[in-house]
Structure 1
Amino acid sequence: MTIEVERADSSQLDGLDGTWDGQVDDSPMGTLFHRWDALRVIEEHSDATLHPLVGSKGQEPVGVFPVFELRKGPVTTAFSPPPGMGVPALGPVLVNYRKLKQRRFEKRNNRFAEASFDWVQTHLEPKYFHVVSPKGYDDVRPFQWNDFEVSPRYTYDIDLSVGEEALLASMTRDARKSIRNTPEDAYTIERRGEAGLEYVLGRINARYDDGDGGLFLEEAYVADLRDALGPDTLLVYVAEVDGRPVSGRLTLHGDDRVTLWQGSPKPDVDVDVPINDVLNWRSMVDGIGAGTSTCNFVGANTRHLCRYKSKYNPTAVGYFEMERGTRAMNVVSDLYRRFR
């Protein structure tokens, strides 16, 4: 039986077994950003049109693949995830595959990918197609076989299952000293609501305005994303010294991992507290308390940032960036890398 790929009209996946979010949650490849309501928020706040593709074999779903269509004048491009929205990865999610033997898995993966490419080409005809795969989607050969340029990328995972003491002992001396020797009464770290979100995004966006790189994230977008995922999923932390906010972070809790998503800008005032070290530690401790097994320190592709992040003794984990298009669209690729 062949694999059919169609655009889902609703999260209920009419005519198929299960729901969109059910497929995402059941697959180790699924992320919070793959969830239906999160995708709709991304669509609403971007210049893109969402095409939530579902592959099926009879009534059984075999994969989901959210694709965003961007049109600029006569040029159509396709992205998963779209640029500028702070989504580290998206791409295809395979489901109902873990009991398959290797030959059947490869056949299913290849047929789902090719059927998805055919749908995109038939309905969108993009000049450029860019995909960043989620962790766990490791067999990207169907992309290579269909003329995508594939590049390895890396992120950092920290094992929280070992507990606080073993985790702290595994870190560098510098990190241990910052965390152990900083008096708890020298700072406060609290979860905050709207006011905290406004502060943290203000600091993140100020870094962008100052030309120091990073993203500019609209407050309305992140607030809607928080509503879609839930306040216990997208957490806002604000760190204060002497009653004054000096740093903050947006952290995602879900899929058995804590994701250090956005934030921890350098304080804009001089403080004697290694505030970002204790802020990162607080996120890890909260993850341990919630029974989470992994902390994802988003991104391990920038050398000077890796030097800082590696002191927490993470493991480098690979994922893939895939792109296909004409040479004339190289500028799109460059802009994506700059503003994603």
Structure 2
Amino acid sequence: MTIDVKEADDSTLERWNSFVDESKETTPFHRREALTHLAETANAEVRFLVGYKGQEPVGIFPIFETTKGPFRMVYSPPPHLEVYYLGPALLNFSKLKQRKAERRHRSFIDGCLSWIDDEIDPHYVDVRTVDGYTDLRPFSWNGFDVSPSYTYILDLTEDDLLMQFSRDARSNVRNRDDDCTIREAGVEGIEAVIGQIQNRHAAQDKEYRIDPAFVTELYERLPEGCVRPYVCERDGEILGGMVTLEGDDTIYRWQGGAKHDLDVPINDLLDWHIIRDARERGLTRYDLVGANLPRLCRYKSKFGPEPVAYHTVQRKATRMQAVTGVYRRLPSALRVVSE
């Protein structure tokens, strides 16, 4: 089976978002306007790959090309921008029998990787897929290392979601402080939420590479309702907040929920409000975005979600493996100097 993989021309780019809407394996970051914004921020070149069976599109694969020193690298998504999943997404597979679907899928990924090798010849490739993209064998068969990471998914179709919560979470949302108001707050909310996270990271001497301007630009570029900044306020003061992303059937708990020392269970109230809002809009999944750190799992697991795997696939050229090995063997002081 031959799948023809091409880089999207201007005409195809006009149709790109319709491909995103048709696939069940895409996120808001797969949209053209988001990809362009990521490329500009990461100082990378975004390449829009599309696979065809005849005239029928069978998959899309947005990738980012960049260089560091002598090395050419391909990412999907680009690093350090708080984008957790991207990678390939399949189209027009639902009616195919298993054997034909597997052949088409493998041919699509083979074609994409051949295009990447022919056009870019990278020393390093790093791809993180969405949780719905579950068959990673075509990458393994092409010599990639495949490793799982985890997120939490809460099924919003359950009749009584509150009963899945832990006792303390149920108590917090049932006995909420009536003086607190939760609302969508637009750019004001983005500035408050991202500012809190920046301050939290700075206090812990940790790196956090996005800022309110980055999120605001995403808010303005994406369709209305795709980025939703929620805040919890009391007496006109914003106590905390959450910036969510929304696409297809899923709402993503993207940024926010900074730890605080107040006497109000701000994050519990925010999560419960977001869950109810999403259900009213007909969404069926709440992705709590990340279930890899024990200290964060302790909080997120109290809503009764299921841990679900997504995957990272990586490949390093021999030259880069050798350089990385030498770098890791350097004393830590020398590594700091070299950076």
Counterpart among 295, 298, 307 of residue 289 in structure 2: 298
Identity %: 44
Counterpart among 196, 206, 209 of residue 216 in structure 1: 209
Counterpart amino acid of residue 238 in structure 1: V
> Which runs of structure 2 are paired with 1:43-58 in the superposition (5 Å)?
43-58=39-54
- What whole-Å deviation, never above 9, does each CA across 1:279-304 have from its counterpart, x for those lacking one? 11111111111121111100111112
Cα offset, 1:84, TM superposition: 1.2
Counterpart among 167, 170, 176 of residue 164 in structure 2: 170
What secondary structure does 2:29 align onto? helix
Cα offset, 1:332, TM superposition: 11
Cα offset, 1:103, TM superposition: 1.1
1:159 touches 1:294 (CA, 8 Å); kept in 2? yes
Cα offset, 1:97, TM superposition: 0.8
Cα offset, 1:152, TM superposition: 1.1
Q: Does residue 1:307 correspond to 2:307, yes or no? A: no
Cα offset, 1:11, TM superposition: 6.2
What secondary structure does 2:312 align onto? strand
1:208 touches 1:216 (CA, 8 Å); kept in 2? no
Q: Paired residue for 2:335?
A: none
Counterpart among 230, 243, 259 of residue 237 in structure 1: 230
What secondary structure does 2:232 align onto? strand
Separation in 2 of the partners of 1:150 and 1:252? 27
Cα offset, 1:183, TM superposition: 2.9
Q: Does residue 1:100 correspond to 2:113, yes or no? A: no
Cα offset, 1:216, TM superposition: 2.6
Counterpart among 270, 275, 284 of residue 266 in structure 2: 275
> Which runs of structure 2 are paired with 1:314-333 in the superposition (5 Å)?
314-325=305-316, 326-329=321-324
Q: Give the direction of change, closer, same or farther, for the CA distance of 1:188–1:312 in structure 2 (3 Å limit).
A: same
2:195 touches 2:211 (CA, 8 Å); kept in 1? no
Counterpart among 188, 193, 202 of residue 195 in structure 1: 188
> Which runs of structure 2 are paired with 1:103-122 in the superposition (5 Å)?
103-122=99-118
- What whole-Å deviation, never above 9, does each CA across 1:309-329 have from its counterpart, x for those lacking one? 100000111111111003534
1:200 touches 1:248 (CA, 8 Å); kept in 2? yes
Q: Does residue 1:252 correspond to 2:245, yes or no? A: yes
Structure 2: where are the runs of 5+ without partners? 329-339
Q: Paired residue for 2:139?
A: 143
Q: Paired residue for 1:338?
A: none
What secondary structure does 1:184 align onto? coil
Counterpart amino acid of residue 318 in structure 1: A
Counterpart amino acid of residue 281 in structure 1: W
Structure 1: where are the runs of 5+ without partners? 334-340
Q: Paired residue for 1:38?
A: 34
1:11 touches 1:36 (CA, 8 Å); kept in 2? no
Separation in 1 of the partners of 2:322 and 2:22? 39
What secondary structure does 2:134 align onto? coil
1:237 touches 1:250 (CA, 8 Å); kept in 2? yes
Q: Give the direction of change, closer, same or farther, for the CA distance of 1:233–1:4 in structure 2 (3 Å limit).
A: same
> Which runs of structure 2 are paired with 1:21-100 in the superposition (5 Å)?
21-100=17-96
Q: Give the direction of change, closer, same or farther, for the CA distance of 1:332–1:260 in structure 2 (3 Å limit).
A: farther
Give the TM-score normalised by structure 1: 0.90
Q: Give the direction of change, closer, same or farther, for the CA distance of 1:332–1:289 in structure 2 (3 Å limit).
A: farther
Q: Give the direction of change, closer, same or farther, for the CA distance of 1:98–1:321 in structure 2 (3 Å limit).
A: same
Deviates more, 1:276-285 or 1:237-246: 237-246
Separation in 1 of the partners of 2:37 and 2:11? 14
Separation in 2 of the partners of 1:109 and 1:183? 52
Cα offset, 1:78, TM superposition: 0.6
Separation in 2 of the partners of 1:316 and 1:21? 29
1:11 touches 1:20 (CA, 8 Å); kept in 2? no
RMSD: 1.9
Separation in 1 of the partners of 2:21 and 2:13? 15
Q: Give the direction of change, closer, same or farther, for the CA distance of 1:60–1:75 in structure 2 (3 Å limit).
A: same
* Number of residue pairs the alignment of both structures matches: 324
Counterpart amino acid of residue 156 in structure 1: Y
Separation in 2 of the partners of 1:298 and 1:242? 30
Give the TM-score normalised by structure 2: 0.90
What secondary structure does 1:45 align onto? helix
1:81 touches 1:87 (CA, 8 Å); kept in 2? yes
Counterpart among 127, 142, 150 of residue 154 in structure 1: 150
Separation in 1 of the partners of 2:17 and 2:12? 9
